[in-house]
Amino acid sequence: MASRTYDDAVGLLNTLQTPHKVLNERVAAGVRIDETANNELRKCLARIGYSPSDLDKLNIVHVAGTKGKGSTCAYVDSILSQYRKSHDVPRRVGLFTSPHLIAVRERIRINSVPISAPLFAKYFFEVWDALDGAGVGSDAPLKKPPYFRYLTLMSYHAFLQEGVDAAIYEVGVGGEYDSTNLVQRPVATGISKLGIDHTFTLGETIDKIAWHKAGIQKSGVPSFTVKQLPAAMEVVEKRAGERDVKSLKVIDLDPRLQKVKIRPDADFQRSNASLAIALAETALKKLYPNFQLPPDSLPKEFVDGLEGVVWRGRCETKAEGNITWFLDGAHTEDSILVATRWFGEQCSQIPGTRVLIFNQQGHREAVPLLEGLFNAIKAQGLVKFDHVVFCTSAPQEKNGSSKDSVNYSLDSNAISGLTMQKTFAEKWRALDPSPSTTIKVLPCIEDALEYVRGLDLKSREAGDEIEGSKEIQALITGSLHLVGRALGVLDGVDAA
Ligand SMILES: Nc1ncnc2c1ncn2[C@@H]1O[C@H](COP(=O)(O)OP(=O)(O)OP(=O)(O)O)[C@@H](O)[C@H]1O
Ligand SMILES: [Mg+2]
Ligand SMILES: [Mg+2]
């Protein structure tokens, strides 16, 4: 029998990635996802032994949105975990999020911890074998769903087998046709901030995008959203009506958060936290029928859950001697503004050398994204980048990178030729012609981090700087893959 380790599982899982060439052909032919994908996935679910109604046992909190999904899910998870610790209910909390930063198994967590490598391998191969028809009765093989959909299927299996009694699901792309949308009766659905992203799949305008995301709302299930642009809100309301939801509530900034330390201390994050409070409250009402949240303050479990949440790669800082790394995986117009403002505010009080490390490989609007970053930092007027580094997020075999970060959906020629990075460098030079700004194109994130460390070394060798000016503040942003690769290096190999 073939070897069946975690590494083997990830290797096989990678064969389910859609290659760059096929993605391009689909775009050219205008092929978009529709309900056939979930009809196929229901067959796979049946094959591994479950009906869609089995998923209702997971008491799912389902979250869609353009920005803030992952953070909202992490908050709900963290609040429920506090109840688990203090009351033993829910006994086990599942969390399904994407993408991963370092290891694929981060996407499937139980009690906030990524499932172990052996458990990942076990559930991976159980699903694999069942789809191959290797089980009782030797059914005909079923075509395996692509990467993300396979992982979703596997998460259903893992959570049901592990006795999870509350699960939080972050939508992959859109909502209506997403593989997380197999659930028929979640406990609550949440729609975080809507904006423009994934336009090929979802449509070019916010109302089209909202249509997909609002498609997670379910009959008889409470739905929650945050303030949206009118064109988006109209669609959310219309779809809520069509679906006959139990209620649709628009969640404003929760005044009870005034005494809670939300990080970063910004309204976008308080909005995510407010949405999470409403979702967690609804889930807890299901788990404890008499549960009531006081109207003017939050119980300790909520406060501890919100303050203690760990959501890596989003507005994360790491100190390393004189260097402070600021990491944020922002890759849309709105979120890049948020990340840039956060960086500017954080380091404007401390003199030092400012570095930007940027990449974005798959996005059609990558250059405008970079330009948005430049304009935001300029408009804010607090800091200026002295060094700007463009590099790829590609794993480097020589550094012992794992299969977890292999990405076949990107254009390998563009990566090896550093095509995007050279374009970014030209763009930045045009935006900032000042000779005092150094612009670099480097093959990989490892080299970019070393470049920054080299700056630190040089300044320490120079030795005669005034106190404080030896600080280096480096913002790493533009892509969650870039940030994940950077964290992998900065944390050491086995960070997950
Ligand atoms: N409500 C929001 N409005 C605008 N930007 C946000 C909001 N919430 C988060 N962001 C920004 O988006 C980044 C990603 O946040 P998060 O992981 O919560 O979003 P997501 O919806 O899961 O995104 P994706 O999965 O597409 O990366 C954050 O680091 C932050 O810069
Ligand atoms: Mg996204
Ligand atoms: Mg996410």
What percentage of the chain has pLDDT greater than the value 90?
Answer: 77
Residues 464, 347, single domain; the answer is: yes
Chain center to CA of 388: 25
Report whether residue 271 contacts ligand 1, using a CB cutoff of 6 Å.
yes
Ligand 1, atom 15, residue with closest C-alpha: 68
Global pTM reads 0.91
Task: Please answer whether residues 60 and 186 qualify as being in contact, where contact means their C-beta atoms are separated by less than 8 angstroms.
Answer: yes
When pLDDT is averaged across residues 162-184 and rounded to a whole number, the result is 97
Burial class (CB in 10 A: 0-12, 13-18, 19+), 26: middle
Q: Is residue 33 part of a domain?
A: yes
Could you tell me if 297 and 259 are in contact, meaning their C-beta atoms sit under 8 angstroms apart?
Answer: yes
Residue-level pLDDT at 401: 60
Q: Are both 395 and 292 inside the same structural domain?
A: no
Cα 120 from Cα 114, distance rounded (Å): 9
- Do 270 and 322 lie in one domain? The reply is no
Protein residue closest via CA to atom 23 of ligand 1: 67
pLDDT for residue 495 is more than 50: no
Which pLDDT value is given to residue 198?
A: 80
The minimum-distance atom of ligand 1 relative to the CA of 65 is 21
At 443 the pLDDT is 95
Residue 493 has pLDDT above 50, yes or no: no
Where a domain ends, among 284, 307, 330?
Answer: 307
Residue 1 forms part of a structural domain: no
Contact 62, 94 (CB under 8 A): no
Is 314 one of the annotated binding-site residues?
Answer: yes
Does the residue 219 lie in any domain?
yes
Distance 318 CA to ligand 1 centre (A): 19
Specify the pLDDT at position 496: 44
253 lies in the same domain as 337: no
Q: Both 250 and 399 in a single domain?
A: no
Give dist(CA 371, CA 89) in Å, integer: 48
The total domain count for the chain is 2
The end-to-end CA distance of the chain, in Å, is 29
Same domain? 31 vs 123 = yes
Cβ of residue 335 lying under 6 Å from some atom of ligand 1:
yes
Ligand 1 pocket, residue 480 CB under 6 Å = yes
Buried/exposed code over 375-387 (b: 16+ C-beta within 10 A; e: otherwise): ebbeeeeebebbb
Looking at the structure, tell me whether residues 322 and 459 fall in a common domain: yes
Angle, helices 300-307/267-287, rounded to nearest 10 degrees = 140
One domain, residues 480 and 333: yes
pLDDT above 80: residue 2: no
Buried b (16+ CB within 10 A) or exposed e, 261-293: ebebeeebbbbbbbbbbbbbbbbbbebeeeeeb
Q: Answer yes or no: are the C-beta atoms of 80 and 277 closer than 8 Å.
A: no
Is 212's C-beta closer than 6 angstroms to any atom of ligand 1?
no
Q: Is 158 within 8 Å of 115 (Cβ atoms)?
A: yes
Binned at pLDDT 50, 70 and 90, residue 468 comes out as: low
Looking at the structure, tell me whether residues 420 and 448 fall in a common domain.
yes
Secondary structure (3-state) at 96: strand
**157 within some domain:** yes
Instruction: Calculate how far, in angstroms, residue 139's C-alpha sits from the geometric centre of ligand 1.
Output: 42
Report ipTM (2 d.p.).
0.98
Q: Could you give phi then psi for residue 17, rounded to 5 degrees? A: -70, 145
**Per-residue model confidence (pLDDT) at position 216:** 98
Q: Is 112 marked as a binding-site residue?
A: no
**Residues 123 and 19 placed together within one structural domain of the fold:** yes
Domain span at residue 251?
A: 6-307
The model's confidence at residue 186, banded by pLDDT at 50, 70 and 90, is: very high
Nearest-atom number in ligand 1 for the CA of 71 is 18
Q: Provide the residue type at 379 as one letter.
A: A
- What is the whole-number distance in angstroms between the Cα of residue 116 and the centre of ligand 3? 21
Q: Where are the alpha helices (DSSP H) in 54-191?
A: 69-87, 117-132, 147-161
For residue 228 the two structure tokens come to 């949206």
Distance in angstroms (rounded) separating the CA atoms of residues 370 and 378: 12
SS3 call for 387 = strand
What atom of ligand 1 comes closest to residue 192's alpha carbon? 1
CA-closest residue to ligand 1 atom 3: 268
Asked if 159 and 183 sit in the same domain, the reply is: yes
Q: How far, rounded to the nearest angstrom, does the alpha carbon of residue 154 sit from its chain's CA centroid? A: 18
Which of 467 and 324 is assigned the larger pLDDT?
324
CATH number of the domain that residue 98 is part of: 3.40.1190.10
